[in-house]
Amino acid sequence: MDKPFSQACINNRAPIADVLERVFADKRDILEIGSGTGQHAVWFASKMPHLCWQTSDQVQNHSGICQWLDECSLPNLLAPIPLNVLKDAWPNRYYDGIYSANTAHIMPWEAVVAMFSGVGERLLSNGVFCLYGPMKYMGELSAQSNVQFDRMLKQQSPHQGIREFHDINRLALKAGLVLLEDLAMPANNRFLVWQKA
Ligand SMILES: C[S@@+](CC[C@H](N)C(=O)[O-])C[C@H]1O[C@@H](n2cnc3c(N)ncnc32)[C@H](O)[C@@H]1O
């Protein structure tokens, strides 16, 4: 299998790292949900050596992630654990940071619900959850590119689609998370940061 590659990861990794370097400055153990190709994990673990970065995803993505990890062999970057948030048991441990990018609009809504519930259970108090991706506000998508993206997602699969911020934040509140930041990012994405109360 060829090593998977995402151009989007190359484009967004620097602005995402700028935020993570600040919000994870005093954190140590990070769980990434939906590591995808593994490119984000490699970049962030190399830029933030104080973090121990645990990758995870559905098992079908593990061989691709491992190819990226094997190539860089960073001591603070851990091989993926199987984590389909709907089906798999979560790791039996706690994290002071959890990160997930471009997952909420891909997984079905019940998986988004399960993701927030698991995050609430696995975050230490004062730990932070960072969620990156496009977001809808009061039912509106402000950018035409996101309107088209949302349409394409729904054509691909009816369970997909850009989520409503208030629905997402309701899940966060239920999981004991308090919104700290909602940042505008390049290419009409958002960066949401919650803290476990
Ligand atoms: C568009 S990719 C994003 C990958 C990477 N985070 C990035 O930003 O490039 C969506 C990711 O969500 C993951 N995903 C979808 N459903 C999931 C579920 N139920 N549990 C965990 N991960 C899931 C996919 O396996 C995939 O890695």
CATH number of the domain to which 73 belongs: 3.40.50.150
pLDDT of the residue at 153 = 98
Residue in 9, 31, 58, 66 to alter for ligand 1 test, most ligand atoms within 8 A of Cβ: 58
Its domain, for residue 45, covers 7-196
Does 49 fall in a domain?
yes
Per-residue confidence band for 51, with pLDDT thresholds at 50, 70 and 90:
very high
Q: Which amino acids bring their CB within 6 angstroms of ligand 1?
A: 6, 9, 33-36, 40, 57-58, 61, 83-86, 101-103, 106-107, 111
Does 1 fall in a domain?
no
Distance 101 CA to ligand 1 centre (A): 8
Does 2 fall in a domain?
no
Does 73 fall in a domain?
yes
Q: Say if residue 100's pLDDT is above 90.
A: yes
The predicted model gives 22-51 an average pLDDT of 98
Does 27 fall in a domain?
yes
Ligand 1, atom 22, lies closest to the CA of 34
Q: Say if residue 1's pLDDT is above 90.
A: no
Does 124 fall in a domain?
yes
Q: Say if residue 146's pLDDT is above 90.
A: yes
Residue in 65, 105, 107 to alter for ligand 1 test, most ligand atoms within 8 A of Cβ: 107
Instruction: Please check whether residue 82 is in contact with residue 60, taking contact to mean a CB–CB distance below 8 angstroms.
Output: no
Q: Say if residue 61's pLDDT is above 90.
A: yes
Q: Which atom of ligand 1 is nearest to the CA of 83?
A: 21
Q: Please spell the DSSP secondary structure of 103-166, one letter per residue.
A: -TTTS-HHHHHHHHHHHHHHEEEEEEEEEEE--BBTTB--SHHHHHHHHHHHHH-TT--PPBHH
pLDDT of the residue at 184 = 98
Does 29 fall in a domain?
yes
Distance 26 CA to ligand 1 centre (A): 26
Does 170 fall in a domain?
yes
Q: Closest Cα to residue 141, out of 174, 176, 188?
A: 188
The predicted model gives 162-166 an average pLDDT of 98
Q: Which atom of ligand 1 is nearest to the CA of 60?
A: 25
Q: How many domains does the chain have?
A: 1
